[in-house]
Structure 1
Amino acid sequence: MDKQTTKDDYARVKDDLQVLRDDIASLTKAFADSQKASANNLKDEISREARAVFENLRERGDAALTRATEAGSKTVESVEHKIEERPFLSIILMFLAGVIVGKMLDR
């Protein structure tokens, strides 16, 4: 009877080990699935943050471009106004500027 008890104990241990292997396999699968879901959530969050940052940069760039365009327009209008006030002086100044640039390029 001692041999039979040993065989039964061996069979029970063998069955318990198989159950333990199955449990470890399912636990490993569940952990991998959890990590995959976490990675997907992290990817989605990073994507949302990147879109928000890009949108913010685009808005700031548009605002800077608008300010630069307005400043350029004001400068052009100011120059046009000064040229209209003193056209002869403007022509002389442009001529002198051309002469100076020409002399600098001759060297």
Structure 2
Amino acid sequence: MEAKSTQDDYDQVKRDLQALRDDLSKLTRTVSESQKSNISSLRDEIRRESREALDQVKQKGDEVLHRAKDAGDKAFHDVEHKIEERPFLSIIIMFLAGILVGKLLDR
């Protein structure tokens, strides 16, 4: 009778160990799938934030470019206006500037 009880205990321990293995396998799969889901959501969030940052940089760059273009246009029109006001003086200044640059390049 004791041999049968020992055998039953042994069989019960085997069943418990198999159930434990199955539970551990399910837990491992669940954790793995959860981590894959977390990684996927983090990757999507990083992509979204990267796109937002790139859009902001593009917008700021466009604003700076527009301001620089406006400043260049204003400077060009100012110079053009000064030349129209005093054409003879402008020619003399350009002539002297040409001589000065020529002397600097001769060195």
Q: TM-score range by the shorter chain?
A: over 0.9
**Using the alignment, how far apart are the partners of 1:10 and 1:27 within structure 2?**
25
Q: In the alignment, which residue of structure 2 is the partner of 1:98?
A: 98
Shift of 1:4: 1.1
* Structure 2 counterpart of 1:104, one-letter code: L
Quick one: percent identity of the two aligned structures? 55
Q: In the alignment, which residue of structure 2 is the partner of 1:23?
A: 23
Shift of 1:16: 0.6
TM-score (norm 2): 0.97
Q: In the alignment, which residue of structure 2 is the partner of 1:67?
A: 67
* Unmatched runs of 5 consecutive residues or more in structure 1: none
Shift of 1:21: 0.4
* Structure 1 counterpart of 2:53, one-letter code: V
* Unmatched runs of 5 consecutive residues or more in structure 2: none
* Structure 2 counterpart of 1:17, one-letter code: L
Aligned pairs for 1:31-50 (under 5 A) are 31-50=31-50
Structural RMSD (CA): 0.7
Runs of 4 or more off by more than 6 Å in structure 1? none
1:81 aligns with 2:52: no
- Name the SS for the 1:83 alignment partner: helix
TM-score (norm 1): 0.97
* Structure 1 counterpart of 2:51, one-letter code: R
